[in-house]
Amino acid sequence: MSLVALTRPTPTADRLTDLDALLPGLTARFAATADAHDRDSSFPFENFAALHEAGLLALTAPVDLGGPGADLPTALKVIRAVARGEPATALVLVMQYLFLGSLDGRAGWPAHLKALVADEAIRNGGLINALRVEPELGTPARGGLPATVARRTPDGWRLSGRKIYSTGCPALTWFVVWARTDEPEPRVGGWLVHRDTPGWRIEETWDHTGLRASGSHDVIFEDAPVPLDRALSPQPPGGPPQIDPRFAVWSSVLTSAIYDSVARAARDWFVTWLTERKPANLGASLSTLPSRSWSAPSTPFSCRTAFCWTPRQRGGCRSPKRRWSSTSSPRTPSPRWRRPSPRPATPACRATTPFSATIATCSAAASTRRRPTSS
């Protein structure tokens, strides 16, 4: 099954006004098949068909390109709901939202390519992601030349190389392939490749313990032809990064939301199990036992802490700071130190890092092992 053949009405603001009514149904629908996709390591094509039907695949496409132009809080709400049902679907959707949401600020992208990618997402549910990681290089974030080569030809480019961790590749319409030119002084950058291009294939290597439905297989390009204008302004190595600051902020927030939502979903499952599990020799649910009743309440606080760990946006949550006296040891708190009262999470406090979100997951697991303090 492919999303390319799907054609749906253009999403409008009117169709997106009642997300609170729409999203719970999608969460339940995705959760119902998540186990099967995880066991089989199969890609959830039907989830993306449902998201496209709901007008959510192009949610962050810019308004001037015909999209809804949803802001970060709206995108966050959708990602949280999807991740609670099936996190691999949410990961692919995060990549989609990042690209579409930052199209306006993407350096090196001609206006006609921005319009092409946005229109494909709006009309046909076209997905996009970057293919950057390679077996030898790893992530290019640490520098180095990619082994994937774009060779100049009279009518364009020919692309050859292998990419790993190509999340969503079974359903992607567009690949933004990180490569270098074959020039004496090579340039590096992205090449925009459509899935209908000949000369590429998927090698199904993704067989990990988690996120098995993300389709993060290897993609191999073998002299794949790319039109001349789809080289996204490659630059000499070591040049200034061409990343929109908005992309970096959205990436931290939306990626962390996946971890946070998984922790919350796990907590909900655990509470349901404690409530519904009624051993015959007890005659009541496990939640009535003192040794179980203390386990769950701390988990919501742990999850909430993940979204208040690092940001200080618009007066949001702040980590308490210790005050030191000039005469005390650098490692000894002053006797005058007093921990400030905790401040509740606010809608303004939403930016996180993947690390802080991971803490939420660990806290959720740890809280089930913590023992109550004797009075």
175 and 260 together in one domain: no
Chosen domain end from 215, 235, 255: 235
Rounded to an integer, what distance in angstroms lies between the CA atom of residue 79 and that of residue 81?
Answer: 5
* pLDDT tens track for 49-73: 999 999 999 999 999 999 999 999 9
Decide: helix, strand or coil at residue 179. Answer: strand
**37 and 100 share a domain?**
yes
Please count the structural domains in the chain: 3
Please give the pLDDT value at position 241: 65
Q: How many residues does the chain have?
A: 375
Residue bearing the bigger pLDDT, 217 or 316: 217
pLDDT in tens, 280-316: 888 888 888 876 554 554 555 455 545 544 344 444 4
Average pLDDT over residues 197-213: 94
Which pLDDT tens digit goes with each residue over 107-161? 889 999 999 999 999 999 999 999 999 998 877 777 778 999 999 999 999 999 9
- Can you name the residues that pair with 266 across neighbouring β-strands? none
Q: Are residues 91 and 116 in the same domain?
A: yes
Alpha-carbon distance of 96 to 94, in angstroms, equals: 5
Is 324 domain-assigned?
Answer: no
Is residue 335 domain-resident? no
In DSSP notation, 72-87 reads HHHHHHHHHHHHHH-H
Write down the pLDDT at residue 136. Answer: 87
Same domain for 288 and 175: no
8 pLDDT more than 50: no
Average pLDDT over residues 248-266: 93
The verdict on residue 240 lying in a domain is no
Q: Is residue 213 part of a domain?
A: yes
Judge whether residue 371 has pLDDT over 70: no
Q: Which of 242, 57, 91, 244 is nearest to 169 (CA)?
A: 91
- Together in a domain, 252 and 358: yes
* Same structural domain, 267 and 288: yes
Domain containing residue 190: 131-235
The tokens describing 230, both together, are: 């789809």
Whether residue 331 has pLDDT greater than 80: no
| Final residue before a domain boundary, out of 126, 144, 172 | 126
